[in-house]
Amino acid sequence: MSTESDGRQFWDDAAERFDEEPDHGLRDPRVREAWDIRLRGWLPAAPCDLLDLGCGTGSLALLAAGQGHRVTAVDSSPRMVERARRKLADTSAQVLPGDAASPPVPDGCADVVLVRHVLWALPDPAAALRKWVRLLRPGGRLVLIEGRWGTVEPVGLDADTLAALAAPLGGSVRIEQLGHDPALWGRPVQDERYAAVVRPAPTAPPAARQRHTEIVDVHLVLLRGAEVLLARRANTGYADGLLHAPSGHLEDGEDVRSGMIRETREEIGLDLAPEDLEAVLVMQHRAPDGRSRIGWFFQARLPEGAEPVNAEPDKCSELGWYPLAALPDDMVAYCRAGLDAWCAGHRFLLHLHESGDRIAHDPDGPGRAVPLAPSAVPGSLI
């Protein structure tokens, strides 16, 4: 089993081979910019207390400090501590010597624990994760950047292994693959590299916790050939001007299929029978403000001779048919994510916005959709 010092030696040796400090390419301004953009997607939008464990020369700590976060960086190598202190000298960040698996800071001191290329090298990664969770305040998160490198004798942790290690923490784990983006590494790479954003479950005793409650809403994927019906929201106070599938909240005592039939009648004037509807996707969605909901997507074919009408002109400015193969960008983000996932054959999905994300679909923004099961055969309904 490797140790943290073994892992540090791995990167030190790699740096010497390439005649550069072990900075993972972050001396290149283009690489730094790419990491700065990614960090903004993983970290809270508001300034927070951030621990960078196994900080190395402090490159990520410097980016986080530049974004306004209050940074404490820790590394077990005296050489790395000295380099990090020099790099962070013009910031308010602290750099402390210490073991990443048991850093010299109190429990409950951080909103974010950021760790890059360290977990794989620890003798007991599961114990390290438990310790790092204890360092978090309620609602905090771990941001873990890991990978599996090399072909002859690979080292590191693949994403599935890390997700399994994090599963006992409860909460949610979002994996974002990074190997496909050469801007992060200064060159194309072939091995697996990724970030995991872990939001652990609350650690309070069960009696002290609030039961989790969520709105349930239903969405109609109404098909006419290879087109889907979308409605443009208006005068609702949420996502006005954006396209969305006909949808609505479930009412008290209503099952999801009955709710979909009612919403279809109220919004577009069609009377569907239960057998007309097929549940095709279930999604848990968290809005940028932190509120969450469960969305049920039902597919139906436009009945022969029928035509939808705008039955709620006070809430909808127009109806239109749009090709599933070329959906418009001016859509509500989670509706677009649901349709994209369904078209790709997925049936269960997480779509968890971070603070500061747009309500509208952002084709250039960070991907927030995480499938929860293998996909079915895509394109069978298009």
The pTM score is: 0.56
Q: Where are the domains of the chain?
A: 4-207, 215-371
Instruction: Give the whole-angstrom CA distance, residue 35 versus residue 42.
Output: 11
Instruction: Write out the DSSP string of 99-162.
Output: BTTB-SS-TT-EEEEEEES-GGGSS-HHHHHHHHHHTEEEEEEEEEEEEEE-SSS-EE--HHHH
Question: What digits encode the pLDDT tens for the residues 109-166?
Answer: 999 999 999 999 999 999 999 999 999 998 899 999 999 988 778 899 999 999 999 9
Instruction: Give the whole-angstrom CA distance, residue 177 versus residue 181.
Output: 9
What letter represents residue 330's amino acid? D
Query: Which pLDDT score, from 0 to 100, does residue 116 have?
Result: 95
Query: Which pLDDT score, from 0 to 100, does residue 158 have?
Result: 92
The SS3 assignment for 276 reads: helix
The SS3 assignment for 194 reads: strand
Query: Which pLDDT score, from 0 to 100, does residue 12 have?
Result: 42
What CATH number belongs to 215-371? 3.90.79.10
Is residue 301 classed exposed, middle or buried when 0-12, 13-18 and 19+ CB atoms within 10 A define those classes?
middle
CATH superfamily of 4-207: Vaccinia Virus protein VP39 (3.40.50.150)
Instruction: Let me know: does 279 contact 287? Beta carbons within 8 Å.
Output: no
Q: What is the 3-state secondary structure (H, E, C) of 77-111?
A: CHHHHHHHHHHCCCCCCEEEECECCECCCCCCCEE
Instruction: Give the whole-angstrom CA distance, residue 311 versus residue 220.
Output: 15
Rounded to the nearest angstrom, the gap between the alpha carbon of residue 51 and the centroid of all alpha carbons in its chain is 20
Instruction: Give the whole-angstrom CA distance, residue 336 versus residue 328.
Output: 9
Instruction: Give the whole-angstrom CA distance, residue 115 versus residue 91.
Output: 20
Instruction: Say which residues have a Cβ less than 8 Å from residue 304's Cβ, sequence separation at least 6.
Output: none
Query: Would you give per-residue pLDDT tens digits along the chain (382 residues)?
Result: 344 444 444 434 433 333 334 455 567 889 999 999 999 999 998 999 999 999 999 999 999 999 999 999 999 999 999 999 999 999 999 999 999 999 999 999 999 999 999 999 999 999 999 999 999 998 899 999 999 988 778 899 999 999 999 988 888 888 999 999 999 988 898 899 999 999 998 765 555 556 667 889 999 999 999 999 999 999 888 889 999 999 999 988 889 999 999 999 999 999 999 999 999 999 999 887 777 899 999 999 999 889 999 999 999 999 999 999 999 999 999 999 999 999 999 999 998 887 778 889 988 877 788 888 887 665 444 4
Element (H, E) at 33: helix 29-42
Query: Which pLDDT score, from 0 to 100, does residue 162 have?
Result: 93
Instruction: Let me know: does 145 contact 182? Beta carbons within 8 Å.
Output: no
What letter represents residue 9's amino acid? Q
- A 10 A CB-CB count for 260 gives 28
Strand partners, 352: 286
Closest-CA residue to 54 (of 99, 13, 102): 99
